Structure 1
Amino acid sequence: MMLNDIAMIAIVGAMTGVTTVLFGFGGGFVVVPFVYQLFLRQPAIANNALHIAVATSSAVMIVNAGWATFQHQRRGNVTADILFPLTLFIGLGAVMGSLLAGQLNEGTIRLLFILYMLVTIVDCLVSRRFLKGCEARPLSMSTTTVGGVAMGAVAALLGVGGSVMTVPLLRRHGFSMKHCISHANPLSLPVALCATITYTFDGWGKIPDSGFIGYISLTTLVTLVVAGGIGITISQRYFPKIPDWWHARLYVLLLIAVLIAMLW
């Protein structure tokens, strides 16, 4: 891997730290398109580029989302009533999605990623509850169980951590963007853990180059984690609080930017 590639990875890593704090993205929506393009240019492993991107993204999310969760817990922004039992069903879905990903080819996963982004963006724009907010109400049993499994499966399959589903879900149930994001990070952890373990074993010995554990690129992972830590620290210390109205709209704009990057 060239020095300029490592420099670019570091910049993207810092961006994942910022998006983790501001939008609850542990890295997936920023990391997957970038790492995919990076390894697509390497002929020896181009056929596994998207699997590498998703696997490495999942490993990054363990660290980023874990640290952000710790910080939100210290500040009292995380409540057990929202996390459980939703976390358990998301974890179950994550196992299913990770296993399914190993059976799909690169083109199918990329297409699913793009379609999923389109559906999410349209849903956020159409839903008045997301952009304007509404009165808070508890999650139903069907949302927690069936919805939790579906969210975990899709998130692990595409390497996106689940925040892009949990944030709109909680927003439509009347939570402020601040609380949606503070809960998105811990809800991403079961997805990241299950996906990382699955991709490690499923990709064992399938990448001809050195520096890989399963589908996970170690150099990319370390660079992203270190730079992400810097991005998280800067965001928490120096970024001003964003009004809820703007926070929701910036969230959608970021999704659109990632979709454009993946299409390109």
Structure 2
Amino acid sequence: MISGFEPELFVYGLLLGLCAGALAGTLAGLAGVGGGLIYVPLFYACLPAEGGGMALYIFASLAAIVMTGFFSARAHWRLGHVDKRMLISLLPGLMIGAGLGLWSTLRLPEEAILLALAALDGWVARDYGRQIPAGPQHGPSPALISGPIGYISGALGIGGGTMLVPLLRRHAPLRFAVGTSAACGFVMAATAVLTNLLVESDWQALLSKHGSSLAGVWLGIALVLPFCSGWSARLHADMGEESLRILLKSVFILLACSLLIAALIARMHTPA
């Protein structure tokens, strides 16, 4: 329930959502990430959130990831890029971990979240810079660490692709790693958002207070996502493996640097 709907905040949120959805939808189709790597820093920089803090940005990001993940997963499913057996084995741990992770953001400092996001992006950029042949002999079983991945995803407001794609590409071709990650991110984010709304009253209070801008953001994202995610998924299918790997490495390096700067700014503004 939105308390005191404000049209100007709704319009502002709509414009922000259109920009965020275009960027996140493109990255989702190319890399299988849910968009949180775009949403969290963008919401942090642009959304007014007095009394909400980082928890509001994380929740808003995961709610947006439900939409991003749906359109991205649908596009990859139609292209045959989702490994159904791997998807089923990953979901239990991812859903439980993400629900707990989102709940914990009500108590985590914002600079810690931004630093963690920057570190993840740097690790993924390094991983994409390495040649890793597909095969079960590379890396741990994805199902065994799905719980921790889910927790980190929920706590940082991301769809899990940042960690899942590098892990899954050790067990399958990159196209299947990206497609399966997109499907996982959709189900995981939806479960985390719904369970937290049901069990934690603090989320309901935050949504009521900031509902005008959030409604605009989510609408803008929903309007632009179908085109952007579908286009980028087709581009993903047409690109060569090496070209795609280099492109994703460059994207994640840029994201890591941006988030590190945001974390340093947040630290400077934190009371001593």
Using the TM superposition, give the Cα deviation of residue 188 of structure 1 relative to its aligned residue in structure 2, in angstroms.
0.7
Q: Residues 172-231 of structure 1, C-alpha deviation per residue, up to 9 Å, x if partnerless?
A: x1432212111111111233113322554432124674526xxx9211111112122231
Contact 2:119 2:256 in 1 (8 A): yes
Q: 2:19 aligns with which of 11, 16, 22?
A: 11
Q: Per the alignment, do residues 92 and 4 of structure 1 end up closer, same or farther by CA in structure 2, a change over 3 Å counting?
A: closer
TM-score with structure 1 setting the length: 0.82
Q: 1:190 aligns with which of 187, 190, 195?
A: 187
Q: How many residues align?
A: 250
**What corresponds to 1:205 in structure 2?**
205
Using the TM superposition, give the Cα deviation of residue 142 of structure 1 relative to its aligned residue in structure 2, in angstroms.
5.7
Q: Per the alignment, do residues 235 and 143 of structure 1 end up closer, same or farther by CA in structure 2, a change over 3 Å counting?
A: closer
Q: Map 1:27-106 to 2 at 5 A.
A: 27-39=35-47, 42=48, 45-104=49-108
Unaligned runs of 5+ in 2: 1-8, 263-272
Distance 1:92 1:246 in 2: 35
RMSD: 2.8
Mapped pair 1:175 → 2:172: yes
Distance 1:211 1:116 in 2: 26
Identity between Structure 1 and Structure 2 (%): 18
Q: Map 1:227-242 to 2 at 5 A.
A: 227-236=224-233, 241-242=238-239
Distance 1:109 1:90 in 2: 23
Contact 1:60 1:221 in 2 (8 A): yes
**What corresponds to 2:136 in structure 1?**
137
Contact 1:36 1:52 in 2 (8 A): no
Distance 1:10 1:96 in 2: 30
Q: Residues 21-75 of structure 1, C-alpha deviation per residue, up to 9 Å, x if partnerless?
A: 1111221111110011112xx3xx3342422221111111112212222232223
Q: 1:255 aligns with which of 248, 252, 256?
A: 252
Distance 1:223 1:58 in 2: 15
**What corresponds to 2:268 in structure 1?**
none
Contact 1:64 1:228 in 2 (8 A): yes
Return the letter of the residue paired with 2:135: A
Unaligned runs of 5+ in 1: none
Residue 238 of structure 2 aligns to a residue whose secondary structure is: coil
